[in-house]
Chain A
Amino acid sequence: MTSMIEVESVSKSYGGVVANRDISLTVEEGKITGLIGPNGSGKTTLFNSIVGYHPIDDGVIKFEGQEIQDLRVPQIARLGMVRTFQQTRIYNQMDCVNNMLISVPHRTSKFMDMFKPYAAELTERAEHLLEFVGLYQKRHLISGDLSFGQQKLLEFAMALMNEPKILLLDEPTAGINPTLINGLIDRLHRANEEMGVTLFVIEHNMRVIMNLAEHIYCLAHGEMLANGKPEELQNDQAVIDAYLGAH
């Protein structure tokens, strides 16, 4: 089992506040890994560090064995690491199909590709993925007009369109109607199993993450608290305390 992402002793502070202290974790290829922890424990900061949104103070981050802590966001994205945002980010003036088309992978594109039109297969693929998330009928609507939950699904579809090796999902079920959550969990599983996408998921919804992830890391107060299989963490007193204490 190879490690896709290796985080080794990473620390990050903002001003005087230590957001991440000496964090180490591994995300295995082909699996679904979870990242949990009470609010303010540093989960999104860690995500941002991994994807290159800001430089880290200490430590090493490797993606498929290559050190990436000095690379920029677009460079890391082109290596095959895509992330979704907590506050969903889409191109809200364009329709859904165009949102998908612009999300094609850019890692192998050459200069002159900029000036070509989009091939018909790409539109087909886009529509297929939109169908996968259940947005096929709405594909020609302006994405800014969709509901919040639909926009989240669109963002997920766009991420898949990018043919990522790994997808970093920041609270994918936040703000989604509970009745739709099962559908989303199902699609995440399918993306992982059928499309071979490794998943690294931040989640607050315990039911979701326990059903989704094979291995979970728990952060608290900027430090790694515990890690293991879902059943192990559910019974870990320290984890329970961290959550209860924080509320």
Chain B
Amino acid sequence: MITKTRTTLFYVALLVISVAAPFVFPAYTFQIALLWIMILFAVTWDVMGGQMGYNSLGNILFFGMGMYISAIVQVGLFYDVGTYTAHSGAIVPVFSHDQYFTGLVAGIVAAGLGSVIIAALLSQVVFGLRGPYFAIGTLGIALSAGELIGAWEWVGGGGGIALPKYPGEPDGRSLLYYFLCFASAAASFMFFRWLYTTRFGLAINAIRDNEEKAEAMGLHTLQHKAVAWSLSAFFLGISGALFGNMTGFVEPLEVAFPTVTFGIFMVAMALLGGKGTLWGPVIGAVVFHVIKEVTWTHMLGWQWVALGGLIVINVVFFQQGLMGWAQDKWPERFGLVVDESMSAETKEAAK
């Protein structure tokens, strides 16, 4: 029986576990922080792909743009970016405590807002494409962005750009970014959870189910699509800024715009967990990330093959994802998570 207290307890438990994790498993802080980023990836992808029916293969664009925007702001506030990158890391300028943190805050904000602006602008042209053309088009944009930025000397070209060094102990650094990642992931999840309960949620589902009908009924479809993408972009941009700082060095194709790897993981995770559901992307991200981290080191080069294989198997044989499978198996138990997703499930379950 879903009750309000049960749900609240559930969230509180999650919160406690998440906050305690880096203290209980200090050696895994980075990996768990990465998990939060993965969750954010899956959640923001699902807004477009699962809820709205616009399968983007290029959402990684905003991750990379956010990373670069943040790097530029963090460095640029205090030093000339061109000169900085020209040194290619040979000369490491010092960032004072205040400079670091002002830069970080400014960088994160700029990354988020900058990504929103990019998404809003691109929306005007990219939403004339539907279905596979939208997927391939966004893929092309992400690939182009990575290559173009990789050729831009001002931000370090193919060599990349280094981020300011953290003024303090490595442990403090790990914890700071852990909590920033957790906060962003949690914020994105809670935000979209709320959004799906408003008219917006129903509208994007309508666009997914029958866009022509929605248009014929006067819905402002372009507006909704642009807003959905911009909101995803906002969170992705912030995650990029955080990740850039966590690794300390931004390389255009490997780190900022890993289109064929992380860009596709977003899709794979949402599919694995069950696209179009609230918790599906989260569950998918957790399962995916855990399997990946556990098997990666043992697979001696075969991990990517296994990953590709996993995607194929998921897409071909397990379309409904974990959530879909669970809903089929235990429709009554639908349960803990349904009260915030579409009302259709409770009606189905109650029947």
Contact = CB atoms under 8 A, between A and B. Distances in A.
B205 A74 contact: no
A51 interface: yes
B224 A83 contact: no
Contacts of B216: 51, 73-74, 77, 82-83, 85, 89
Contacts of A98: 202, 205, 342-344
Contact of A141 (B195, B198, B213, B347): B347
B329 interface: no
Contacts of A111: 223
Nearest to B218: A77
A109 B220 contact: yes
Given A90-B213, A105-B218, A95 B344 contact: yes
Interface string A133-170: 00000001110000000000000001000100000000
Given A102-B214, A140-B347, A141-B347, A94 B205 contact: yes
A207 interface: no
Nearest to A109: B220
B217 interface: yes
Nearest to A115: B198
Contacts of B343: 95, 97-98, 140
A106 B215 CA distance: 10
A93 B209 contact: yes
B206 A102 contact: yes
Interface in A111-136: 111, 113-118
B302 interface: no
Contact of B217 (A109, A116, A162): A162
Contacts of B199: 101, 113-118
Nearest to A79: B218
Interface string B67-84: 000000000000000000
**For the side of the interface on A, what is the size category?**
35 or more
Nearest to B205: A94
A127 B245 CA distance: 53
B86 interface: no
B217 A93 contact: no
Given A91-B209, A93-B344, A77 B217 contact: yes
Contacts of B347: 95, 140-142
A107 B343 CA distance: 26
A94 B213 CA distance: 14
Contacts of A142: 344, 347-348
Nearest to A74: B215
Given A89-B213, A114-B224, A117-B197, A102 B218 contact: no
A73 to B, nearest CB: 5
Contacts of B209: 91-94
B174 interface: no
Given A98-B343, A140-B347, A142-B348, A91 B218 contact: no
Contacts of B195: 115
Contacts of A78: 218
Interface string B185-203: 0000000000101111011
Contact of A116 (B198, B212, B223): B198
B224 to A, nearest CB: 7
B210 interface: yes
A95 B208 CA distance: 15
A158 B212 CA distance: 15
A226 B202 CA distance: 45
Contact of A74 (B203, B208, B221, B344): B221
A73 B344 contact: no
Nearest to B219: A106
Contacts of B348: 142
Nearest to B202: A102
Given A89-B212, A98-B343, A141-B347, A103 B217 contact: yes
A107 to B, nearest CB: 6
B227 A114 contact: yes
Interface in B222-277: 223-224, 227
Contact of B344 (A77, A94, A101): A94
Contact of A77 (B206, B215, B227): B215
A105 to B, nearest CB: 7
Interface of A: 51, 72-74, 77-78, 82-83, 85, 89-95, 97-98, 101-103, 105-107, 109, 111, 113-118, 140-142, 158, 162
- What 4 A-B pairs are tightest by C-beta distance, nearest first? A77-B218, A91-B209, A78-B218, A140-B347
